[in-house]
Chain A
Amino acid sequence: MKKSLTNRVAVIWSILVSILLIAPILIVIPLSFAPNRSFQFPPSGFSLQWYVNIFTNRAWYSSLTESLTIAALVAIVSTIVGTLAAIALRWVPRGSALVRGVLLSPMVMPGIITAVAMYSLFLQWRLNNTLTGFVIGHSVLAIPFVIIAVEANLHSYDRNHNRAAATLGSAPISTFFRITLPQILPGVLSGAGFAFITSFDEVVLAIFIQGPNVKTLPVQMWNSVRQETDPTMSAVASLMVIIATVIILLVSVSRTKKLSRREA
């Protein structure tokens, strides 16, 4: 890197930006060890009771398991239908502009409008406060991400492989599972990951369609922020920060290693 004045300014600026990006989310970690029911910073002591509370308090624990169940179902549903749709859009592109527009539209609509619109019909269809309602609603939001992820992989897929397989007598379905799927698997898996996170992290729709039977973790977090001072929120937030950080760091380390291998 050139040591020009511009670059020096950019370095200092970027360090400040890094602090702005990272420091605020780290603040929840000390908070999660609070000895008493408060969001006081810094906390006046140390305790692990709020971490224990995630697993012993019924409201927190059941919302966690419900969120995981819903997110897993959403990942399965939206990955299957999204992958099929991506194949259709990619392999028969002629006249598919409208279909693509419709399928990707949930991504550009402001979340609050989507939530209100779905809530209205879910009321009539009795889908509020049900697992089915959550899975359907979150799948709608997740399908665009799956399509985008899979299409990116299909982009570099050579359809001559299909023709070769067919010439050699392979039926289309087995061609899909034995030839196509293994090659587009990275896209399918990252689509599934996106779908899982989209559902697991979704708040706006969830706070509308939730009810006594089904409450996801974000709903429980929302309630605890809005209504009461419950440091279990800090513990959950800290776990989320730590999990995200660990995953990103693992990916970064593996990419750095790949880099060193290339240099060697």
Chain B
Amino acid sequence: MNVISRVFRSKGVIRLLSIPALIIVVIFFVLPCIVLIMDSFGWPEWTLEGYVKDLVDPTIATVMLRTFGISVGVTVVALIISFPYAYLMTQVTARTRIIMIAIVLIPFWTSLLARTFAWMVIFQANGPLQNILGFFGIQTEPLLGTSTGVLISMVQVLLPFMILPLYSSLSGIDPNYLRASSALGANGVQTFFKVYAPLALGGVAAGTLLVFILSLGFYITPRIIGSPQQAMIGQIIAMRVDRFLDFGGAGVLSMLLVIAFLIVMALFGCILLATRLFRTSWK
């Protein structure tokens, strides 16, 4: 018994506890991803043909640009919309804060399909949006099937992913810093940009990154709200597999998406680093 107990308590054995999870994730996630990458290189023969074909294809370039454009748009709009909300959450009483959190969590916990379906109804021809705008004398085309519609619905769907990390970062800011700043003669704008915003940077980065990653790979919302003529990259990846079982082609686009994303992240990191350096050298 004693020996068995000692064996069970040893670090090596505790480490083994992660094996069942590892087996599932490696066999059913890592391996498929590796196979997809191999497919993208035309396995069993190794060729870059798929990559060359897609890189010179203007349609793919357009789709990539549109995907990044919409994702940047969604992220920026979501950040602008969320910041005052997250800020107010740090200012109100605990009771009001619980209500404000509930308002964020209700859509967060509601099925993505249910929410996307709601936007489909709102944007449809003769739908509520057109009726309301018509009531004010504004005649518009229905937003269903447009990139604007995709952008608006994606912002609403992804808003909780921006508000929650923002709030958790803003709630950690000591209000005494702001008081000190104004006591030392800074006006509101100066306090915001020189004291509050830098302290909020962590939450802004977390929320921005989360929303941006999720936007890039979004499939369901653009497929239902958007149109094939204005597709995002996820739709093209799905179409290649769905219609042509072209896993190589889907793998190529997946790799391009991930690589493009990594490049953007590297730039993002450089910009953050540069602002930090700039600020310290400025002091």
What residues of chain B lie closer than 8 Å to A256, measured between beta carbons? 95, 98
Is there contact, CB below 8 Å, between B110 and A240?
yes
Q: Flag the segment in A7-15, A49-57, A58-66, A183-191 that touches B.
A: A7-15
Closest to A163 in B: B9
Bound complex: CA A20 to CA B163 (Å): 13
Q: Is B81 an interface residue (CB 8 A)?
A: yes
What residues of chain A lie closer than 8 Å to B30, measured between beta carbons? 102, 105
Q: Provided the pairs A7-B88, A204-B220, A237-B118 are in contact, do residues A1 and B93 lie with their beta carbons within 8 angstroms?
A: yes
Bound complex: CA A263 to CA B224 (Å): 48
Closest 7 CB pairs of A and B: A110-B217, A237-B114, A117-B32, A172-B8, A85-B21, A88-B18, A88-B17
Given contacts A25-B118, A116-B247, A171-B5, 15 further A-B contacts (CB under 8 A): A10-B91, A13-B84, A21-B159, A28-B118, A31-B121, A105-B25, A112-B234, A114-B32, A116-B251, A118-B29, A121-B35, A136-B24, A173-B8, A203-B112, A247-B109
Is there contact, CB below 8 Å, between B5 and A241?
no
- Within the complex, what minimum Cβ distance (angstroms) separates A247 from chain B? 7
Closest to B96 in A: A1
Contact of A103 among B21, B111, B122 (CB under 8 A): B21
Q: Is A248 an interface residue (CB 8 A)?
A: yes
Q: Is B1 an interface residue (CB 8 A)?
A: yes
Is there contact, CB below 8 Å, between B81 and A17?
yes
CB contacts under 8 Å to B, within A17-67, are 17-18, 20-22, 24-25, 27-28, 31, 39-41
Is there contact, CB below 8 Å, between B124 and A39?
yes
Q: Is B117 an interface residue (CB 8 A)?
A: yes
Q: Flag the segment in B54-62, B99-107, B198-206, B273-281 that touches A.
A: B99-107
What residues of chain A lie closer than 8 Å to B242, measured between beta carbons? 208
Bound complex: CA A226 to CA B21 (Å): 36
Binding site for B on A (CB under 8 A): 1-2, 6-7, 9-11, 13-14, 17-18, 20-22, 24-25, 27-28, 31, 39-41, 77, 80-82, 84-85, 87-89, 91-92, 96, 99, 102-103, 105-106, 108-121, 136-137, 139-140, 143, 147, 162, 166, 171-173, 197, 201, 203-204, 208, 218, 221-222, 225-226, 233-234, 236-237, 240-241, 244-245, 247-249, 251-252, 255-256, 259
Is there contact, CB below 8 Å, between A102 and B213?
no
Binding site for A on B (CB under 8 A): 1, 4-5, 8-9, 11, 14-18, 20-22, 24-26, 28-33, 35-36, 39, 81-82, 84-85, 87-88, 91-95, 98-107, 109-122, 124, 126-128, 156, 159-160, 188, 213-214, 216-217, 219-220, 224, 234, 237-238, 241-242, 247, 250-251, 254, 257-258
What residues of chain A lie closer than 8 Å to B14, measured between beta carbons? 87-88, 91-92
Q: Provided the pairs A20-B159, A237-B117 are in contact, do residues A14 and B109 lie with their beta carbons within 8 angstroms?
A: no
What residues of chain B lie closer than 8 Å to A171, measured between beta carbons? 1, 4-5, 8
Contacts A/B (CB < 8 Å), 27 sampled: A1-B91, A1-B93, A7-B91, A10-B91, A14-B84, A28-B114, A80-B20, A84-B17, A96-B18, A99-B18, A103-B22, A113-B237, A116-B36, A117-B36, A118-B32, A121-B28, A121-B35, A140-B24, A201-B111, A204-B220, A221-B111, A221-B113, A225-B120, A236-B114, A245-B110, A252-B102, A256-B98
Closest to B188 in A: A6
Q: Provided the pairs A136-B24, A140-B24 are in contact, do residues A116 and B224 lie with their beta carbons within 8 angstroms?
A: no
Is there contact, CB below 8 Å, between A112 and B121?
no
Bound complex: CA A210 to CA B26 (Å): 22
What residues of chain A lie closer than 8 Å to B99, measured between beta carbons? 252
What residues of chain A lie closer than 8 Å to B9, measured between beta carbons? 162, 166, 172
Closest to B15 in A: A92
Contact of B33 among A88, A117, A208, A244 (CB under 8 A): A117
Q: Provided the pairs A13-B85, A24-B156, A103-B21 are in contact, do residues A249 and B102 lie with their beta carbons within 8 angstroms?
A: yes
Is there contact, CB below 8 Å, between B103 and A21?
yes
Bound complex: CA A56 to CA B13 (Å): 52
Bound complex: CA A111 to CA B219 (Å): 8
Is there contact, CB below 8 Å, between A81 and B24?
yes
Is there contact, CB below 8 Å, between A103 and B18?
yes
